[in-house]
């Protein structure tokens, strides 16, 4: 016997934590898929002890590159803010990804050494939230894939990664 209460979907706050999607893993998985679709060799650490989510091998040099993936938290209005949780990054690149807008940044770790506790990647919009255009200091590291056809997104993402990682040949 089905009651209306049984057939009504639960809101996120009523879904047990074990059943909620892991948005961090979803963002990492999308980045992994794009690298793999573009033909890159990729490894994932068993334990994330040093801030490395993915290790990719540059196809041109065979050099291993440590990548940290961060993402916009679902429901957060400041989509371009990232709390700095390191003093000296132990990874080569930070990929900051906003899944809902298919945009983000590939930032070399040496550009992430600064005083303060917060990175603000996007300018403030008319409502005062960091979700506007990419701030000029991060513009060279940005990718926008919303207008790219799905079958071309992997190539476009890797092209951006290679442009930033200048040793790479796309």
User: In this structure, is residue 40 part of a structural domain?
Assistant: yes
Q: How far apart are CA 83 and CA 60, in angstroms?
A: 33
pTM above 0.85?
Answer: no
133 is a domain residue:
yes
Please give the pLDDT value at position 89: 87
Residue 83 has a pLDDT of 79
DSSP 28-79: HHHHHHHHHHTT-EEE--SS-SSS-SEEEE-TTT--EEEEEEEEPPTT-S-T
Look up the CATH number of the domain holding residue 130. Answer: 3.40.1350.10
Would strands 54-57 and 118-120 be described as parallel, antiparallel, or unpaired? unpaired
Tens of pLDDT, residues 95-148? 999 888 899 999 999 888 877 788 888 888 888 778 788 889 999 999 999 999
Give the orientation angle of helix 153-164 with respect to helix 23-37, to 10 degrees: 90
pLDDT at position 42 is: 95
pLDDT at 7 over 50: no
Residue 144 lies in a domain: yes
How many domains are contained in the chain?
A: 1
CB neighbourhood size of 44 (10 A): 12
Residue 142 lies in a domain: yes
Average pLDDT score, the chain: 81
Containing structural domain, residue 52: 23-164
DSSP β-bridge partners for residue 100: none
Residue-level pLDDT at 74:
60
């Amino acid at each position: 016997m089905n009651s209306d209460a049984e057939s009504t979907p639960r809101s996120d706050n009523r879904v047990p934590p074990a059943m909620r999607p892991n948005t961090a893993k979803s963002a990492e998985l999308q980045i992994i898929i794009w690298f793999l679709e573009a033909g890159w060799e990729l490894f994932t650490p068993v334990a994330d002890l040093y801030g490395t989510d993915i290790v990719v091998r540059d196809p041109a040099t065979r050099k291993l590159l440590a990548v940290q993936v961060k993402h916009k938290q679902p429901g957060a209005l400041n989509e371009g803010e990232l709390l700095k949780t390191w003093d000296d990054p132990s990874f080569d690149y930070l990929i900051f990804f906003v899944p809902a807008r298919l945009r983000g940044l590939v930032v070399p770790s040496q550009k992430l050494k600064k005083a303060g506790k917060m990175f603000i990647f996007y300018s403030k919009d008319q409502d005062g939230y960091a979700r506007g255009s990419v701030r000029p200091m991060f513009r060279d590291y940005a990718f926008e894939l919303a207008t790219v056809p799905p079958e071309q997104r992997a190539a476009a993402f890797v092209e951006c990664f290679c442009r930033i990682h200048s040793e790479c040949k796309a």
